[in-house]
Amino acid sequence: MTVQLPAPDEPLRMVAVHAHPDDESSKGAGSTAKYVREGVQVTVITCTGGERGDLLNPQLRDDPEITPERLPEIRRAEMKKAQEILGVDHEWLGFVDSGLPEGDPLPPLPEGCFASYPVEEAARPLVEALRRLRPHVMTTYDENGGYPHPDHIQVNRISLAAFDLAADPDYAPELGEPWAVAKLYYINAFHRQRFAAVSRHLRAEGTPNEALDQMLQHYDESHDRLLTTRIDVRDYLGIRDDALRAHATQVDPEGPFFRISHEAEVAAWGTEDYELHISRIGVKLPERDLFAGLRHEAMEARA
* End-to-end CA separation in angstroms for the chain: 21
Query: How would you classify residue 138: left for phi > 0, otherwise alpha for psi between -120 and 50, otherwise beta?
Result: beta
The beta strands (E) that lie in 64-159 are given as 89-95, 137-140
Residues 228, 263, 18, 167, CA torsion sign: negative
Measured distance CA(261)–CA(293) in Å, rounded: 34
152 is annotated as contributing to ligand binding? yes
20 is annotated as contributing to ligand binding? yes
23 is annotated as contributing to ligand binding? yes
Length of the chain as a residue count:
303
| Helix (H), strand (E) at residue 41 | strand 41-48
Measured distance CA(102)–CA(107) in Å, rounded: 7
Q: Which of 240, 239, 238, 232 is nearest to 270 (CA)?
A: 232
Measured distance CA(236)–CA(220) in Å, rounded: 29
CB atoms within 10 A of CB 223: 9
Question: Residue ranges for the binding site for Zn(2+)?
Answer: 20, 23, 152
Question: Residue ranges for the binding site?
Answer: 20, 23, 152
